Structure 1
Amino acid sequence: MQGLEHAGAIQFRRVFAEADEVDWPCPEDHDVTHACSTLAGSPAGEEAVAVCDGLIDLIAVLFSVSGRYLRSPKRHGRAIARVRQIGMYIAHTTLGMRMVDVATGFGRNKSTVMYACHLVEDMRDDLEFNQIVARVEQIVRAAFHLGTSRDVGNGR
């Protein structure tokens, strides 16, 4: 599978198979200081951080990775970077957020979000990876009380 180690893929399948039965905990490593420091009190920026923060907490649990690592300005290796890229992709495509708002929420720049979205879209050609992303999208829609689609970024 492109970009994901086999053991990681097995872990992802196990997590997604059990996802409907999980009582979602609130991760204790909640820290968005680096992202909030770039906002300068912007209401739109604060909303983007809040939405992305919830998404980061959710994908951290789904992929069994540290939310602190996902929020960190560092890459923390290929697996963490890939989970972060999936999160940015889902924030843009599933939650309908503008790329600039996703960038603010993830503490990254817009070009990083654009790269992540293009990369994940290309990687969805792999059937197993596509199934993983589709399952995460389904869970995110349920967690954010969305139907099949919703444009959070435009307040609909």
Structure 2
Amino acid sequence: METVVTGLFGIAPDALRGRTRGDRRTALARQTAMYVAHVGLGLTRAETGRMFARDRSTVAHACRIIEERRDDPMLDLVLMAVENTCGAREGSRP
């Protein structure tokens, strides 16, 4: 999932787990990845937070931000691409 998100947003993979917020694109990419991990893959907020070296309250905030922005057709396309790719990978596991 992280590879897909970083590729779509054009950021370095290390940026998603970086300790700093980063620029707007990096922050949105991280929020998107957290949203997909929590909502799409079913990880708890705590698990998602550990995955990205963030607190669970940050994950909750990221999910709220992404939900509010789902009306943006471009962001919705990105989310669908990430979710479809992750779903295909999950479904292909033995």
| Bin for the TM-score computed over the shorter chain | 0.7 to 0.9
Gaps of 5+ in 1: 1-54, 147-156
Q: Does 1:133 align with 2:62?
A: no
Q: Distance in 1 between matches of 2:81 and 2:23?
A: 23
Regions of 4+ moved over 4 Å: none
Structure holding more helix per residue: 2
Structural mapping, 1:59-70, within 5 Å? 59-70=5-16
Q: Provide, for residues 30-56 of structure 1, a one-character-per-residue CA deviation record: whole Å limited to 9, x for no partner.
A: xxxxxxxxxxxxxxxxxxxxxxxxx32
Scaled by the length of structure 2, what TM-score is found? 0.88
Q: Give the length in aligned residue pairs.
A: 92
Q: CA deviation at 1:97?
A: 0.5
User: What's 2:21 paired with?
Assistant: 75
Q: Does 1:116 align with 2:58?
A: no
Q: CA deviation at 1:123?
A: 0.1
Q: Distance in 2 between matches of 1:64 and 1:128?
A: 15
Q: Distance in 1 between matches of 2:74 and 2:2?
A: 22
Identity %: 32
Question: Which residue, 97, 122, 128 being the options, matches 2:43?
Answer: 97
Gaps of 5+ in 2: none
Aligned alpha-carbon RMSD (Å): 1.4
User: What's 1:41 paired with?
Assistant: none
